[in-house]
Amino acid sequence: MGKRTSETLVGFFVVLGLVGLVFLALKVANLGSMGGGDTYTLKANFDNIGGLKVRAPVRTAGVTVGRVTNIQLDAKTFQGVVTMEVDRVYQFPKDSAAKILTAGLLGDQYIGLEPGGDDKNLDTGELVAQTQSAVVLENLIGQFLSSKAEGPGAAAAPASGAAK
């Protein structure tokens, strides 16, 4: 009887561990939240979406209010069209802005919604007109290096050559 009880307890803890691993996997994959609630759809056009992915969070003031559901390329404007599902509890004014931000220095990217001051709210399927594209780290480094190459040393060389 003692051996059977200990085997049952070990089995119980193994099942409990597996449930914990499934929960952790769902959290890591962003599949554990924002599922099946009452939501509405918003769209936003960006010149560059960087590394934004489907299922990325949509946040306001650090609080997750939705998820990215689709990313497409507009064949006419060649902009990235991001579709988001936002929890119906959070209503955003029509003049709200959407930005692609990065969590930390090298973290995942997400959509940051900044509410505006308009009296009317965005409705299902509407476009967020004010957007700011992703800041691509490689572009920033390239701009920094090119500005340093054209820095004070480059500007002083023509002046000394013109004096001769």
Query: What is the mean pLDDT of the segment spanning 38-62?
Result: 91
CA-CA distance, 21 to 39, in Å (whole number)?
28
Residue 86: its pLDDT value, please?
A: 93
pLDDT score of 164: 45
The vertex-116 CA angle with 79 and 71, nearest 5°, equals 25
Q: Which pLDDT belongs to residue 112? A: 92
For residue range 121-145, list pLDDT tens digits in order: 888 888 888 888 877 777 778 888 8
Average pLDDT over residues 94-117: 87
Q: Which distant-in-sequence residues (6+ apart) come within 8 Å of 82 by Cβ?
A: 43, 44, 45, 46, 49, 52, 68, 70, 71, 98, 111
The pLDDT value given to residue 154: 52
Mean pLDDT over 52-64 rounds to 91
pLDDT at 155 over 70: no
Structure tokens at 58: 């949509």
Residue 135 DSSP class: P
pTM for the structure as a whole: 0.66
Short-list 117, 111, 58, 68, CA closest to 89: 58
Phi, psi angles (nearest 5°) of residue 73 = -105, 125
Does 103 score more than 80 pLDDT? yes
What pLDDT, on the 0 to 100 scale, is given for residue 54? Answer: 92
CA angle 106, 110, 116 (to 5 degrees): 130
